[in-house]
């Protein structure tokens, strides 16, 4: 029987790359996100290219009622979710604490932390009866070091790390794995969203070095997901060669 992989934030970036990676490895997918048109286009492409089934759920992870409605609507044959990839997340603004937008803070907390909690709580009832499953949470190197003008974004990723550790402890009794993957600088829509669609400034973030690519993270996610049942990677931190951590980045 093919595994069912549920990916949040699948319409672009890490989520989209992971959808391709799991599809090419013969998995059926539940893909979620806010941009239903992109999700439907991805579904069509994946089903035609790889012959696996894809189910689309369009909702905002920060909307608890919408999350619960979406997963309650799943047909019975889609409820045996083997892996949940909590990928949906974002950074908004890069401002000193006293100058930052409260709306940006709310959006980051609601998406990066509360969204992860809502989706995990909605999916766990499908895993627990089978005494198996795997939750992979996408964190950040910002979970390890706080940097200037990163304030609340860093706080949300520190929280993702803490929640992942707590989940791992509490879900031991159900034989459910929990992994957190902390990527460094990666060229996706991340900086474009953070800098509020300022294309010129977003491009500057990745000048002078080769950053991680979404496909790099997909490779690591798939590796963590494909280990033997008794093996769990608890945490991984991944950077490009030019980056040592949140502070040190060498540009040519």
Burial of 23 (0-12, 13-18, 19+ CB in 10 A): buried
Measured between alpha carbons, how far is 130 from 176 in angstroms, rounded to an integer? Answer: 10
Closest CA to 141 of 112, 188, 181, 183: 183
The CB-side HSE value for 13 (13 A sphere, CA atoms) comes to: 20
Burial of 229 (0-12, 13-18, 19+ CB in 10 A): exposed
SS3 (DSSP) at 152: helix
Burial 145-183 (b: 16+ CB within 10 A, else e): eeeeebbbbbbbbbbbbebbeebbeebeeeebbbbbbbb
Strands 235-238 and 134-138: unpaired
For residue 113, what are its two tokens?
């932390």
Please report the sign of the dihedral spanned by the C-alpha atoms of residue 165, residue 167, residue 168, residue 172: positive
Task: Residue count of the chain, please give it.
Answer: 252
Q: Residues 153, 206, 209, 222: which is the catalytic one?
A: 153
Q: Does residue 222 carry a catalytic annotation?
A: no
- Give the angle subtended at the CA of 99 by the CAs of 94 and 104, to the nearest 5°: 55
State the CB neighbour count (10 A cutoff) for residue 135: 25
- Catalytic residue IDs: 153
């Amino acid at each position: 029987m093919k595994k069912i992989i549920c990916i949040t934030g699948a319409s672009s970036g890490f989520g989209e790359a992971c959808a391709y990676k799991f599809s090419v490895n013969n998995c059926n997918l539940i893909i979620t996100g806010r941009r239903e048109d992109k999700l439907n286009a991805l579904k069509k492409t994946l089903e035609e290219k790889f012959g696996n089934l894809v189910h689309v759920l369009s909702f905002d992870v920060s909307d608890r009622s919408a999350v619960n409605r979406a997963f309650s609507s799943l047909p019975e044959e889609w409820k045996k979710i083997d892996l949940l990839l909590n990928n949906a997340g974002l950074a908004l603004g890069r401002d000193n604490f006293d100058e930052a937008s409260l709306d940006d803070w709310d959006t980051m907390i609601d998406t990066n932390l509360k969204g992860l909690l809502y989706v995990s709580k909605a999916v766990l009832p499908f895993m627990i009866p089978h005494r198996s499953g795997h939750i992979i949470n996408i964190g950040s190197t910002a979970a390890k070091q706080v940097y200037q003008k990163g304030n609340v974004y860093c706080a949300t990723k520190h929280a993702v790390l803490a929640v992942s550790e707590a989940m791992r402890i509490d879900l031991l009794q159900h034989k459910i794995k929990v992994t957190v993957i902390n990527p460094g600088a990666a060229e996706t829509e991340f900086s474009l969203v953070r800098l509020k669609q300022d294309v010129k400034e977003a491009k500057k973030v990745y000048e002078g070095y080769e950053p991680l690519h979404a496909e790099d993270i997909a490779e690591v996610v798939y590796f963590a997901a494909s280990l033997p049942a008794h093996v769990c990677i608890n945490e991984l931190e991944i950077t490009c060669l030019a980056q040592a951590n949140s502070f040190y980045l060498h540009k040519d």
